[in-house]
A and B are shown apart, each in its own frame.
Chain A
Amino acid sequence: DAGVIQSPRHEVTEMGQEVTLRCKPISGHNSLFWYRQTMMRGLELLIYFNNNVPIDDSGMPEDRFSAKMPNASFSTLKIQPSEPRDSAVYFCASSWGQGSGNEQFFGPGTRLTVL
Chain B
Amino acid sequence: AQTVTQSQPEMSVQEAETVTLSCTYDTSESNYYLFWYKQPPSRQMILVIRQEAYKQQNATENRFSVNFQKAAKSFSLKISDSQLGDTAMYFCAFMRGSSGNTPLVFGKGTRLSVIA
Contacts and interface: CB of A to CB of B under 8 A. Distances in A.
Interface of A: 31, 33, 35, 42-45, 48, 50, 56, 89, 91, 93, 95, 97, 100-104, 106, 108-109, 111
B25 interface: no
Contact of A100 (B35, B43, B98): B98
Nearest to B105: A45
Nearest to B103: A45
A101 B52 contact: yes
Contacts of A109: 43-44
B99 A108 contact: no
13 contacts: A31-B100, A42-B106, A42-B107, A43-B104, A100-B95, A100-B101, A100-B102, A101-B32, A101-B52, A102-B101, A109-B43, A109-B44, A111-B43
Given A33-B103, A104-B101, A106-B46, 20 more contacts: A42-B106, A42-B109, A43-B91, A43-B106, A48-B102, A56-B103, A91-B45, A93-B45, A95-B101, A100-B95, A100-B102, A101-B32, A101-B50, A101-B95, A102-B101, A103-B35, A104-B47, A104-B104, A106-B45, A111-B43
